[in-house]
C-alpha cells in the first residue's frame, strides 16, 4: 500500500513536472526563431566585448553604458574582470566608448557588477547616476555623481534594503529616490531557478526613498525593465516571462494604479523612453532558452520593439519595425546583441 502511495505521488509529481515544463518552454518563448535583419545604419562599437545590460542617454547626448554583468545562468564573457560604466558621446561623428573612472574611498571596485542604470539631473544640473550592482551576487544600488570635466564617477553612497533583495532595473525620480524591480523573490540561485521554472510570479516593484520604502506592484513573472514617461505621469514595467509591458498611473504619493498591459511575442527586458515623443523602445530577447543556454554557434539574437507610441497610454497602440529611427550600433563580438541608441 505504502509503495502504491509512493508510486502515485511520483506519478503526480512527474505529471506536474511535465505540465510545468511545457508552460516553462512557452514562457521562455523557446519555439521562436528569428531571421537576422540587415540594419541600415549599423556600426560596430569597440570596447564592449562583454556585452551590455542597460544604457541611458542624457539630454546633451552623453550616453552611459553598463557592461560586464555577471548574472547566474547567463553567459559571462569576461569572468575575471569587474564590470564597468562606459561613456559615449553621441554628438561625435564616429563615437567611441571611454571607461569612466570611479573615485571615492569607500567603493570596492573589484566586486562591481553593474546591471540596470538610471540617471537623475538636479535643478543645479548635477547629474547622478544610479547603478544596480551585484557584489557577490547580492543587490545594491550605487549612487554616483557624474563629473563631466574629469570624466569620473564619484561614489557617494551604497543603498541596500530588505525590500531590494534581487534588483534588476531602476528608474530614478530623485537623487536617492527611485522605483526598482526585483526580478525574483528569492536570492539564492537554486531557489530562483525553481521560482522561475514553476512560474510562481512572486517578483515585485518597489518605491525607495531615504525615509520610505514600499512595494508598489507585485505578482510578476520576472519583473525586468522599468521606466517613466517624460511627464512623470506613467510608470512602465516589463514582465519578461509573461511577455508583457504594464502601464501604471503614478500618483503624488508614489503609489501605482494599473492602467493597461500590452502583449508581445518576445521576452521584454529594458525599456527606454524617447524624451521628446515619449515613445517606448524595448530591448527584447526573442528566445529565452538561447539566453540561458548559450551556444556560440546559435547565439540568442536580440530585437527591439520600437516604437510603441506614447499614445498607448490613452488607447492607441502602434508597433513599427525598428529600422526607422536612430543609429543602430553593433556591440563587438556579441554579434547577437545589436542595440539602438536614439538621439536627435
Ligand X SMILES: *[C@@H]1O[C@H](CO)[C@@H](O)[C@H](O)[C@H]1NC(C)=O
Residues annotated in the binding site for Ca(2+), as ranges?
53-54, 117, 168-169, 224, 269-270
* Residue 255 binding ligand X, by CB under 6 A: yes
Burial of 130 (C-beta count, 10 Å sphere; 0-12/13-18/19+): buried
Nearer to ligand X, 95 or 301 (CB): 301
Binding mask 51-90 for ligand X (x = CB under 6 A): -xxxx---------x-------------------------
Beta strand 127-133 with 212-220: parallel, antiparallel or unpaired? Answer: unpaired
3-state SS, residue 118: strand
Q: Which of residues 118-137 bind ligand X (CB under 6 A)?
A: none
Question: Of these, 270, 285, 290, 308, which contacts ligand X (CB under 6 A)?
Answer: 270
Taking CB atoms, the residue at the shortest distance from ligand X is 339
Binding mask 30-49 for ligand X (x = CB under 6 A): ------xxxx--x-------
For the question of residue 115 being annotated catalytic, the response is yes
Distances (CA, A) of 101 to 105, 143, 147, 158: 13, 14, 10, 17
Residue 332 beta carbon to Ca ion: minimum distance, rounded to whole angstroms: 21
Which H or E element spans position 16? helix 2-27
Q: Burial code of 308-341, b = ≥16 C-beta within 10 A, e = fewer? A: bbbebbeeeeeeeebeebbbbbbbeebebbbbbb
* Cβ contact 79:106 at 8 Å: no
Nearer to ligand X, 124 or 297 (CB): 297
- What distance in Å separates the CA atoms of residue 110 and residue 229, rounded to the nearest whole number? 35
Nearer to ligand X, 68 or 301 (CB): 301
Q: What are the percentages of helix, strand and coil residues in the chain, rounded to 5? A: 15, 40, 40
Residue 60 beta carbon to ligand X: minimum distance, rounded to whole angstroms: 18
Binding mask 284-323 for ligand X (x = CB under 6 A): -----------------xx---------------------
Ramachandran angles phi, psi of 203, nearest 5°: -85, 155
Nearer to ligand X, 57 or 201 (CB): 57
| Residue 169 contact among ligand X, Ca ion, none, beta carbon within 5 to 8 Å by kind | Ca ion
| Dihedral sign, Cα of residue 105, residue 57, residue 284, residue 80 | negative
Residue 255 beta carbon to ligand X: minimum distance, rounded to whole angstroms: 4
Span near ligand X by CB under 6 A; candidates 85-93, 105-113, 160-168, 277-285: 277-285
| Residue 282 contact among ligand X, Ca ion, none, beta carbon within 5 to 8 Å by kind | ligand X
* Inter-residue long-range contacts of 79-87, CB under 8 Å, 24+ positions, other chains counted: 81/50, 82/109, 82/110, 82/111, 82/112, 82/113, 83/112, 83/113, 83/114, 83/133, 84/112, 84/114, 85/114, 85/117, 85/129, 85/131, 85/144, 85/153, 86/47, 86/48, 87/62, 87/63, 87/151
Residue 44 beta carbon to ligand X: minimum distance, rounded to whole angstroms: 8
Residue 84 beta carbon to ligand X: minimum distance, rounded to whole angstroms: 13
* Residue 330 binding ligand X, by CB under 6 A: yes
List the binding residues: 53-54, 117, 168-169, 224, 269-270
Span near ligand X by CB under 6 A; candidates 178-186, 200-208, 308-316, 332-340: 332-340
Which sequence positions are flagged as catalytic?
Answer: 115
Which residues contribute to the site for ligand X (CB under 6 A)? 36-39, 42, 52-55, 65, 251, 253, 255, 270, 272, 281-283, 301-302, 330, 336-340
Amino acid at each position: 500500500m505504502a509503495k502504491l502511495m509512493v508510486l502515485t505521488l511520483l506519478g503526480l509529481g512527474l505529471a506536474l513536472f511535465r505540465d510545468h515544463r511545457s508552460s516553462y518552454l512557452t514562457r521562455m518563448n523557446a519555439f521562436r526563431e528569428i531571421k537576422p535583419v540587415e540594419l541600415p545604419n549599423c556600426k560596430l562599437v569597440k570596447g564592449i566585448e562583454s556585452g551590455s545590460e542597460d544604457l541611458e542617454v542624457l539630454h546633451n547626448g552623453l550616453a552611459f553604458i553598463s557592461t560586464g554583468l555577471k548574472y547566474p545562468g547567463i553567459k559571462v564573457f569576461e569572468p575575471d574582470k569587474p564590470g564597468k560604466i562606459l561613456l559615449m558621446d553621441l554628438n561625435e561623428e564616429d563615437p567611441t566608448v571611454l571607461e569612466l573612472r570611479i573615485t571615492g574611498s569607500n567603493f570596492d571596485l573589484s566586486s562591481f557588477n553593474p546591471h540596470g542604470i538610471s540617471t537623475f539631473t538636479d535643478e543645479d544640473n548635477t547629474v547622478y547616476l544610479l547603478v544596480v550592482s551585484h557584489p557577490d551576487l547580492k543587490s545594491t544600488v550605487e549612487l554616483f555623481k557624474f563629473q563631466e570635466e574629469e570624466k569620473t564617477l564619484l561614489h557617494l553612497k551604497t543603498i541596500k534594503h530588505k525590500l531590494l533583495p534581487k534588483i534588476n532595473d531602476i528608474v530614478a525620480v530623485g537623487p536617492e529616490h527611485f522605483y526598482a524591480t526585483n526580478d525574483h523573490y528569492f536570492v539564492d540561485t537554486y531557489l530562483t531557478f525553481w521560482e522561475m521554472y514553476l512560474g510562481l510570479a512572486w517578483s515585485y516593484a518597489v518605491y525607495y526613498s531615504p525615509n520610505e520604502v514600499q512595494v508598489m506592484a507585485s505578482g510578476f513573472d520576472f519583473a525586468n525593465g522599468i521606466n517613466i514617461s517624460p511627464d512623470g505621469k506613467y510608470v512602465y514595467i516589463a514582465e519578461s516571462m509573461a511577455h508583457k509591458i504594464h502601464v501604471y498611473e503614478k500618483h503624488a504619493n508614489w503609489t501605482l494604479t494599473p492602467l493597461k498591459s500590452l502583449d508581445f511575442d518576445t521576452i521584454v527586458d529594458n525599456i527606454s523612453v524617447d524624451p521628446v515623443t515619449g515613445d517606448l523602445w524595448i530591448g527584447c530577447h526573442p528566445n529565452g532558452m538561447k539566453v540561458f543556454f548559450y551556444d556560440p554557434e546559435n547565439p540568442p539574437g536580440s530585437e527591439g520593439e520600437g516604437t510603441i507610441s506614447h499614445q498607448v497610454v490613452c488607447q492607441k497602440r502602434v508597433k513599427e519595425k525598428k529600422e526607422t529611427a536612430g543609429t543602430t550600433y553593433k556591440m563587438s563580438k556579441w554579434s547577437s546583441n545589436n542595440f539602438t541608441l536614439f538621439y536627435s
